[in-house]
Structure 1
Amino acid sequence: MDFFGRDGMSLDSTLHEKQRASCLTNTHTQSHLPHSGALIYTNYVYQTYIVGVFQPFPPEVAKPLRRALYYTNISLSPKEALKYYKQALAIADEIGMDPFSDEILGVKIQVAALMEKIQQYEKAIEVLEIVRNDCLKWIEFLGSKPGNEGKRTRVLGKTVAISVKLGDLYANCYVQDKETAEERLVWAVETALKEKKRREEEGVKEGEGDWMTDEEFGGALESLGHHYEEKDQHYLAAPLFLQSLAFAPTNTCHAVVL
């Protein structure tokens, strides 16, 4: 699916003044809060694809991608960046690169990162929703086919991470869609738990690879819970803390404090 649209993605920067005032107020009242590790977690899906991004790409794809990242990270020009992201994806499609590879998913996720960077939160959501839906369709129709076990694990993991990020974006004070934020976040948690339970009951299939460990999953839930707590979004923090308790070792002080 082409998330750029027929005439390219609109970059209308107009924001509702009421929402802007609300965000400025929230930022001022929360400026004393410490930086949370959860912010790193929710943005991890973005940053993972920036470091060493060019090595896996064929030269004809890497060339426009370098320009796109230059206009994203060095000399910010969203329209130029989008033009080169679109070129890179078009060439990748022409030469037959896997649209669900880490590399191509990473380019699409980086487009969303650019939209968030310039405060086009609705556009960032639009891009991530398209990527998420495409991943879900692949999992539904092709994920269970023999030989796709490892790819299914990877695509499902990316979809969980994207859903966590969508929860963060929907909860953003410029968007304020708390209901959808909770839906995406709950889906991510339930999906990760369901996959873990399936592996415990059925065993890990050959080629599937590793899923999240208890410590990793519990730590991610707790960190994300603290992130939402710091933003006074307790309706998102509470279920995360409760879920993380199930993964905390019972013989440590940490579980008692949590």
Structure 2
Amino acid sequence: MPAARPLLRKQPCNGARIQIRTAKTYIRPPNRFEKMVIDAKVQHPILFPFLLIGCFGSVSMLLVMAYNEYKKDKLHTTDYPIEVEERLRLALHYTHIQPDPETSAKYFMQAIQKAEEAGMDPFKPDALGIRIRFSQMMENFGHVKSAIEILDGVTKDVEQKLAEIDEERAANTGKPSEEEEATRRQLLRATIQTKVKVASLYESDYMQDRQTAKKILSEAVGLVVKETQDAQTTGFTDDNSAGMTAGEIAAMLSQMGDLYATTGEEANALQVYMLTLQPLRASCNGTRSCKEAQVLSNIAATMDQALKKPDAKINGRPATKSSLTAARKAALNWADQAIATTDVVNPEDRDDICELALLSAQMTRADLLLESGDKDKSREAFSSLLPTLREKNLTPLVQVAEEGLKRASS
């Protein structure tokens, strides 16, 4: 009997059920940003569309703003004619971005020429400003003489125009219009400011011509005096035909006083320093300032220097022992005022001017005490000053203080 054959059951084929996932059909896990978007969509189904709209609107607004700024840079936005502006931009580029004085000067000259061809009024601030910037460029590159020549040309042209205006006003009995007054005031202001700048250039280390600087600055001060009503009695104020503010007048007078003091004209320096105080205080609305402390300190130092001269004069008369004593006492008072002023200046307003004014006043005070014969107080003053002077590395003043201390200790 044949052996029984095992029953073989046909296994069901599961091939149709097997899912084959290829690289194209495999879904990767969402990244952090996608997960955040999905969560927002699920958790806030109503607010999510508004969020999308808001984001789209913000991006659109940023694009519009960026395009607007781009177009603004491309548009002509100054008062200069386009051909003048192009040359001026190039001149400034070769002044600050890619320094080249010769190329910058070439474009400044072209800008001035194009301004004339375009019919720009040469006495308006825009046209004058090109020439002023030209001189500044020359100064920045060390060509001080050329800068002075440019400013002298500006001054000459403006003064000639002022003379023509004054002649017309003298011939016309009618009252000048506000526009005419404004034009004359602007030209006067330009003349004064240009003269002050030229004086500063002559006084600089490049030129070191203080006599010429003093002459030109005196002319500027004379113009302010001429255009101020009753300047001798009421002093200097903002109410002047030159359009100068009290602060600007004070700065000019202080510079004039410094020139007199450094050229040995202490009497004139003191007079000018005294005149400086009134407009300076007016410009600060009566509050004490570092600049006031500086002027007070300069008054004391100038008096001290004048009293040391062999032929010292006090009020136009030869100094005597008693007058010297009284004058030194007055100078000490000015030094004390300077020190007191620095003490009451608001902390937020204090600057290097305050520090230098304080040191100068303290040095002058110590020297005046020594000259007055009070060696103990003088020695104490010099001793207290030396650490500060050494800390600030003010070598010349350290030497003066050490010499004073040596004399006070002898």
Flag whether TM exceeds 0.5 (same fold): yes
CA distance in 2, matches of 1:190, 1:101: 24
Once the two structures are superposed, the pairs formed by residues 101-120 of structure 1 within 5 Å of their partners are: 101-120=124-143
CA distance in 2, matches of 1:171, 1:84: 29
% same residue:
30
Cα deviation code 1:155-179 (max 9, x no counterpart): 1101100101111111122212222
Distance 1:200 1:242, change over 3 A: closer
CA distance in 2, matches of 1:226, 1:100: 31
SS in 2 for 1:197: coil
CA distance in 2, matches of 1:216, 1:128: 19
Distance 1:235 1:159, change over 3 A: farther
Identify the residue that residue 348 of structure 2 maps to in structure 1.
none
CA contact (8 A) 1:67 1:84 kept: yes
TM-score, normalisation: structure 1: 0.65
Distance 1:124 1:213, change over 3 A: closer
CA distance in 1, matches of 2:242, 2:212: 29
Q: Which has the larger radius of gyration?
A: 2
Matched, 1:212 2:235: no
Distance 1:120 1:210, change over 3 A: closer
> 137-146 or 180-189, which moves further after superposition?
137-146
CA contact (8 A) 2:214 2:256 kept: no
CA distance in 2, matches of 1:97, 1:82: 20
Identify the residue that residue 96 of structure 1 maps to in structure 2.
119
CA distance in 1, matches of 2:92, 2:208: 29
CA contact (8 A) 1:196 1:211 kept: no
Identify the residue that residue 151 of structure 2 maps to in structure 1.
128
Q: Which has the higher contact order (CA 8 A, sep 6+)?
A: 1
CA distance in 1, matches of 2:117, 2:250: 41
Identify the residue that residue 161 of structure 1 maps to in structure 2.
193
Distance 1:199 1:55, change over 3 A: farther
CA contact (8 A) 1:221 1:243 kept: yes
- How far has the Cα of 1:218 moved from its partner? 2.5
* Residue of 197, 204, 207 corresponding to 2:229: 197
Distance 1:64 1:185, change over 3 A: same
CA distance in 2, matches of 1:170, 1:156: 21
Once the two structures are superposed, the pairs formed by residues 215-254 of structure 1 within 5 Å of their partners are: 215-222=247-254, 224=255, 238=269, 240-248=272-280, 254=292
SS in 2 for 1:175: coil
Cα deviation code 1:122-158 (max 9, x no counterpart): 1111111111111111101124544532111001101
Decide which structure has greater helix share. 2
CA distance in 1, matches of 2:204, 2:231: 34
Cα deviation code 1:187-239 (max 9, x no counterpart): 111211211227999xxxxxx988234455225533x368769x956759926
CA distance in 1, matches of 2:108, 2:143: 17
- How far has the Cα of 1:248 moved from its partner? 4.9
Q: How many residues align?
A: 197
State the one-letter code of the partner of 2:136.
Answer: A
SS in 1 for 2:206: coil
TM-score, normalisation: structure 2: 0.42
Task: Provide structure 1 residue ranges, at least 5 long, that are not aligned to the other structure.
Answer: 1-53, 202-207
Distance 1:233 1:75, change over 3 A: farther
Distance 1:200 1:104, change over 3 A: farther
Q: CA RMSD, aligned part only?
A: 3.4
CA contact (8 A) 1:143 1:151 kept: no
Distance 1:249 1:92, change over 3 A: closer
* Residue of 86, 91, 95 corresponding to 1:68: 91
* Residue of 202, 210, 219 corresponding to 1:178: 210
CA distance in 2, matches of 1:184, 1:137: 17
CA contact (8 A) 1:71 1:80 kept: yes
